[in-house]
A and B are shown apart, each in its own frame.
Chain A
Amino acid sequence: MKQLRIDNITKQFGGLTAVKDFSLELNNGEIIALIGPNGAGKTTAFNMVTGVYRPTKGKIYFKDTDITGLRPDQITRLGIARTFQNIRLFKDLSVLDNVLIANHLHIKSNFIEATFRLPRYWKEDRQMREKSLSLIEKVGLIDLRNEKASSLPYGMQRRLEIARALATNPEVLLLDEPAAGMNPKETENLTEFIKQIRDEYNLSIFMIEHHMEVVMGISERIYVLDYGVIIAEGSPYEIQNNPRVIEAYLGVSEDA
């Protein structure tokens, strides 16, 4: 059984086709990467998987469940979490609150129980606090837990976003350019970190990334998207030596 199966999805905005007949499979425990030049439609593909956009055509399955057209919160509830290319933290809230919010989907108490702090809520609240603190510790932000999210430096905000995504208890994690804006040292740490969380939380990871060190370092398979169409798929070695990929990236024209 595949963790995620994307079956020929297409997205059109008016006359513009952003993604065309995109198919992809993600096996249990795998790390795969989607690469491609800017504007190739990578984030659009992500947005379809997470329910932000509805595909014009095609189906998306999460462990054999058809999730096409579900709302983002329903998809997250099933077990797919994501981060955002342009970091979407709850800026004015604390680091701890950011992670606590991602626990809310599992809450069983209703708002009356929560408001009056009845026993069930009391217990749930304690559990979500413990879990959130341990996640924050894992991403190395424990001393900053009461700071406003927007006050963190860029790299830490990226890590906080990952911690927040993990708090939803996902089985599949979608990372949209996790290394964007990081220096080489941070990038190296991140690569290790992604492997580590994959093993620890038993995740399957699907990421978009430009940093080739990250992509080549940890992905088991790579998909290359250009002008909304998959032009190549394979192991890092195969992709590195694929002429079509080189052409797409270096913009080698037909007269070359």
Chain B
Amino acid sequence: MALKLFLQDILDVMTPEMFLQHLTNGISLGSLYALVAIGYTMVYGILRLINFAHGDIFMMATYFTFYSIVMFSIPWYVTFILVIIMTGALGMVVEASAYRPLRDAPRISILISAIGASFLLENLAIVIFGGRPKAFPAPELFTKVFMVGSVSVQRLTIIIPVVAVVLLFALLYLINNTKSGMAMRAVSKDHETARLMGVDIDRTISLTFGIGSMLAAVGGMMWGLKFPQIAPLMGVIPGLKCFIAAVVGGIGNIKGAVIGGFILGIGEIMLVALLPSLTGYRDAFAFILLIMILLFKPTGIMGEKITEKV
């Protein structure tokens, strides 16, 4: 009975148009999460390690974009390419300085180093870029609004999922059909064996960080276009959420990360839309989802089970 009333309430506030509006918002947010989640899942797949700094690399990309467009007046299409390259390089630098020296160290040390790298990037951003939020320069091309029936849609809302899907297929092609991709898959299965087979482990890991960071750069720029305010700590919560998306989808699995991203993005938007009283708990949704998944299906939706050898 109570449930019926509850559903009635939802139907009262939710017209089909509104539902579509929320769904498109959810898909576009989910695509952003997916882009960043792929980076987590790739690094985890290869190193069995949460790259705590990934959210901060994402943040750095938005600042790179800001300075390139606002300070140096570089046109946005050149900026986008520059930023992707710079962010990829940043990811490789982080790997070389915070992770590579600890390759044979206990996992706990690597984890602490990762947290240290994350804090360093955040605080460097505060020192270099200033703690106050800045307005992200969004070209009108992306932000224009058009109407589909009675649903108003920003161009971006369509562009983001399209970009995400294109990049996903490009990445899958790279991993399944190129030599570097084969090396990545080999390293993710077994470092020692891969080394014996002549794979350059350090180069492959570095490449993985580079590609993951480049995807985070795209995610960061899209994020900036969608939520045009950037700040040094902006990467923390999206970073955690995208890691959660990766876990929900099955960590180490790229398609899983995308699925997880969509579940999280759509779930979050719908939660707030359907139950406005829970708006304050929006950020808790991801964590609750994480805990549920870890308790009931720790391998995630697409993940494989790993048995510890005794």
Contacts and interface: CB of A to CB of B under 8 A. Distances in A.
Q: Do A's and B's CB atoms come within 8 Å in the complex?
A: yes
Interface of A: 13, 43, 47, 52-53, 84
Interface of B: 307, 310
A47 B307 contact: no
A84 B310 contact: yes
A13 B310 CA distance: 14
B310 A43 contact: yes
Task: Identify whether the interface residues of B are mostly helix, strand, loop, or mixed.
Answer: loop
A61 to B, nearest CB: 22
A53 B307 CA distance: 9
A125 to B, nearest CB: 30
A92 to B, nearest CB: 12
Contacts, number: 6
B86 to A, nearest CB: 42
Nearest to A44: B310
A45 to B, nearest CB: 12
Contacts of B307: 13, 53
Contacts of A47: 310
B190 to A, nearest CB: 16
Nearest to A176: B310
A84 B310 CA distance: 8
Nearest to B304: A14
Contacts of A52: 310
Contacts of A13: 307
6 contacts: A13-B307, A43-B310, A47-B310, A52-B310, A53-B307, A84-B310
B289 to A, nearest CB: 28
A47 B308 CA distance: 12
B246 to A, nearest CB: 23
Contacts of A53: 307
A13 B308 CA distance: 12
A43 B307 CA distance: 14
Contacts of B310: 43, 47, 52, 84
A84 B308 CA distance: 14
Nearest to B307: A13
B109 to A, nearest CB: 15
A13 to B, nearest CB: 6
A43 to B, nearest CB: 7
Nearest to A86: B310
A218 B71 CA distance: 83
A125 B307 CA distance: 37
Nearest to B308: A52
A47 B307 CA distance: 12
Nearest to A88: B310
A53 B308 CA distance: 10
B56 to A, nearest CB: 34
A26 B218 CA distance: 64
A113 B100 CA distance: 46
A56 to B, nearest CB: 12
